[in-house]
């Protein structure tokens, strides 16, 4: 039966009937700590997001409907989709839920979850998705201003009408989700999108200038004092350099310059988001997060979307917006490891709602899950992904699907890691100490027959015509000297980390799969495939799973 041809109200009713009964009775999606990790719990079970984010204009159900089979074929379990303020509230106080209900119905019909992005006051810094009745009434809904006094295409965060109008709309969305989504199809909600000031470091609206000249809010000063030893180093260093004052204006406490302007704006954005998020949380207690556009090397505040939830501002955002559960990076740069690590150092759970959809997306997700115990990764523009990236992501997602029970069992336990080239052209062996051993990894990068898909930002100095297949692995310790490797294009040798210790040999190595959480043996690899017991090798161009048991000898 082709449900897509049925009227929307019929599809919604049918989807609700067909949804598993347990889903209706299940607890709300929520976050839970396990060891040092944070897990997303959906229907009572730890859930790993094998995601893909839609392009900004692909979130309307009638346009998207023909693309669901492609999304499903990528082995996704979650689609990250925008919700547009101007579409759901075309007239003030008059809400149209057709797009939201269409997404819910079609996601359920395809057995996929949703992460919803609230395109409210800000999307990529600009206020391009606010309703027409907001855009055209600049007296009631004032704009940010630049240093010459010119109005910008950005609503100022220093106006309560702007904030409260957004908060009412977001609360209405969350209330509607509570009523229309008893199956918990929606598992996370993002508040706004890539907030930031550009092309100047701070808003010069008169209300902003008055706030900048006033004392730093006591809430922030208390947070700084209470968390003095755990601040991001950039914030701590700036505060200490200015004298570690416990009160004063923004320039007195943090010094003068664009960096202080960015701290000031981060607080303003965070307080605005807190009101919006709190209004939504009061209606429906789904986990909420905010995302950040990252900084290009050498850029200064104002040259990038400044004051967003960036690593050096995480303390300001935490103090300003405690209702937000975590902050997320949109990683389009090739140094995935660096950004992923920066977003987890302070205990922040890692979810990457936007990422480059190049072939490397298929191994970057292994790093997010294995090394960072992450919640998930979602390459951007997923509906437009082409080969070879699509086939690689499909295979990688299948591997993650097989390993989900193992990964979630090992999250936060110190028994899981990942191998990814530390640099684009990693030549010498990459040594990683794990499980009481030293793993020496070499990475084999085969040039693909076609161009990389999705290179929408520069990827180092590699010419666009040279698309290299990815290389990387997730590693899980199953027991003493026993490990599971899953990945592609990696060769690993093993040694004791201390001189004079016994040598490490391969007792046996097998290729297999996991089904229903159980290992399914395919073949032994004790001969040529392990170089007669010298190394473990995950083939180029193909994702595989191998279990290796090691032994010690002199």
- Annotated domain spans of the chain: 3-226+265-404, 430-553
pLDDT at 457: 42
pLDDT at 451 over 60: no
Tens-place pLDDT, residues 427-445: 788 999 999 999 999 998 7
Helices (H) then strands (E): counts for the chain: 17, 23
Contacts 24+ apart (CB under 8 A), 167-172: 167/275, 167/276, 167/278, 167/279, 167/280, 168/279, 169/85, 169/88, 169/89, 169/120, 170/118, 170/120, 170/276, 170/277, 170/279, 170/280, 171/279, 171/280, 171/282, 171/283, 172/88, 172/89, 172/95, 172/283
CA pair distance 17, 226, nearest whole angstrom: 51
**Could you tell me the pLDDT band of residue 17, with boundaries at 50, 70 and 90?**
very low
* The two structure tokens encoding residue 66: 């023909």
Q: Does residue 469 or residue 100 have the better pLDDT?
A: 100
What mean pLDDT do residues 490-497 have? 93
Query: How many residues does this entry show for the chain?
Result: 554
State CA 8 to chain mean position distance. Answer: 31
First vs last C-alpha separation in the chain? 66
Looking at the domain 430-553, which fold is it?
Answer: Chondroitinase Ac; Chain A, domain 3 (2.60.220)
CATH code of 3-226+265-404, in short, is 3.20.20.80
Tens-place pLDDT, residues 197-226: 999 999 999 999 999 999 999 999 988 888
pLDDT at 209: 96
CA pair distance 325, 312, nearest whole angstrom: 17
pLDDT at 448: 56
* The two structure tokens encoding residue 520: 């399914």
DSSP conformation letters of 358-412 = STTHHHHHHHHHHTT--SEEEEBSGGG--TTHHHHHHHHHHHHHHHHHHHHHHTT
Angle between helices 160-180 and 258-283 (to 10 degrees): 40
* Phi and psi at residue 105, to the nearest 5°: -65, -45
Q: What is the DSSP letter of 449?
A: S
pLDDT at 238: 83
Tens-place pLDDT, residues 131-190: 999 999 999 999 999 999 999 999 999 999 999 999 999 999 999 999 999 999 999 999
Q: Using CA of residue 347, residue 344, residue 76, residue 285, what is the dihedral sign?
A: positive
Q: How much of the chain exceeds pLDDT 90, in percent? A: 77
* The two structure tokens encoding residue 118: 């609230």
pLDDT at 6: 47
What mean pLDDT do residues 109-130 have? 96
Q: Is 328 helix (H, G, I), strand (E, B) or coil?
A: strand
In the predicted model, what is the mean pLDDT of the chain?
A: 89
What mean pLDDT do residues 345-368 have? 94
User: Quick count: other Cβ atoms within 10 Å of Cβ 288?
Assistant: 23
Tens-place pLDDT, residues 513-539: 999 889 999 999 988 888 777 889 999
């Amino acid at each position: 039966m082709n449900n897509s041809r049925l009227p929307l109200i019929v599809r919604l009713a049918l989807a609700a009937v067909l949804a598993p009964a347990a889903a209706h009775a299940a607890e709300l999606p929520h976050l839970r700590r396990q060891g040092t990790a944070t897990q997303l719990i959906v229907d009572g079970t730890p859930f790993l997001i094998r995601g893909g984010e839609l392009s900004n204009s692909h979130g309307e159900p009638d346009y998207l409907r023909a693309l669901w089979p492609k999304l499903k074929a990528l082995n996704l379990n979650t689609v990250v989709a925008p919700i547009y303020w101007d579409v759901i509230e075309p007239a003030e106080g008059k809400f149209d839920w057709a797009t939201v209900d269409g997404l819910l119905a079609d996601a359920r019909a395809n057995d996929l979850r949703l992460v919803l992005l609230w395109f409210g006051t800000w999307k990529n810094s600009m206020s391009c998705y606010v309703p027409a009745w907001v855009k055209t009434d600049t007296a009631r809904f004032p704009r940010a201003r630049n240093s010459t006094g010119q109005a910008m295409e950005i609503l100022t965060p220093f106006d309560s009408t702007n904030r409260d109008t957004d908060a009412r709309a977001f609360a209405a969305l969350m209330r509607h989700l509570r009523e229309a989504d008893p199956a918990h199809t929606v598992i996370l909600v993002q508040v706004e999108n890539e907030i930031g000031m550009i092309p100047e470091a701070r808003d010069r609206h008169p209300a902003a200038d008055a706030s900048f000249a006033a004392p730093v809010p006591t809430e922030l000063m208390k947070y700084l004092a209470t968390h003095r030893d755990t601040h991001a180093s950039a914030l701590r260093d700036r505060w200490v350099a200015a004298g570690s004052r416990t009160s004063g204006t923004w320039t007195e406490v943090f010094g003068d310059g664009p960096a202080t302007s960015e701290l000031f704006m981060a607080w303003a954005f965070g307080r605005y988001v807190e009101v919006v998020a709190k209004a939504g949380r009061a209606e429906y207690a789904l986990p909420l997060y905010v995302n950040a556009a990252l900084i290009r090397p050498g850029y200064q505040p104002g040259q990038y979307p400044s004051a967003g939830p960036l690593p050096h501002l995480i303390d300001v955002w935490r103090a300003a917006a405690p209702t937000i559960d975590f902050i997320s990076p949109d990683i389009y740069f090739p140094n995935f490891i660096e950004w992923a690590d920066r977003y987890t150092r302070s205990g922040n759970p890692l979810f990457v709602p936007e990422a480059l959809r190049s072939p490397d997306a298929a191994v970057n997700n292994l790093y997010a899950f294995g090394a960072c115990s992450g919640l998930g990764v979602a390459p951007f523009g997923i509906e437009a992904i082409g080969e070879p990236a699509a086939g690689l992501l499909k295979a990688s997602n299948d591997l993650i699907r097989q390993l989900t029970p193992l990964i979630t069992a090992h999250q936060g336990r110190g028994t899981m890691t990942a191998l990814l080239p530390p640099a684009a052209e990693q030549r010498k062996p990459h040594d990683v100490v794990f499980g009481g051993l030293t793993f020496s990894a070499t990475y084999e990068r085969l040039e693909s027959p076609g161009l990389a898909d999705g290179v929408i930002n520069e990827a180092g100095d590699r010419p666009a015509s040279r698309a290299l297949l990815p290389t990387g692995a997730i590693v899980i310790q199953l027991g003493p000297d026993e490990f599971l490797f899953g990945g592609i294009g990696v060769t690993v040798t093993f040694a004791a980390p201390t001189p004079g210790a016994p040598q490490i040999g391969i007792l046996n190595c097998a290729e297999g799969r996991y089904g229903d959480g159980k290992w399914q043996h395919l073949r032994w690899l004790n001969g040529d495939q392990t170089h007669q017991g010298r190394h473990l090798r995950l083939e180029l161009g193909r994702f595989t799973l191998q279990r290796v048991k090691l032994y010690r000898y002199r």
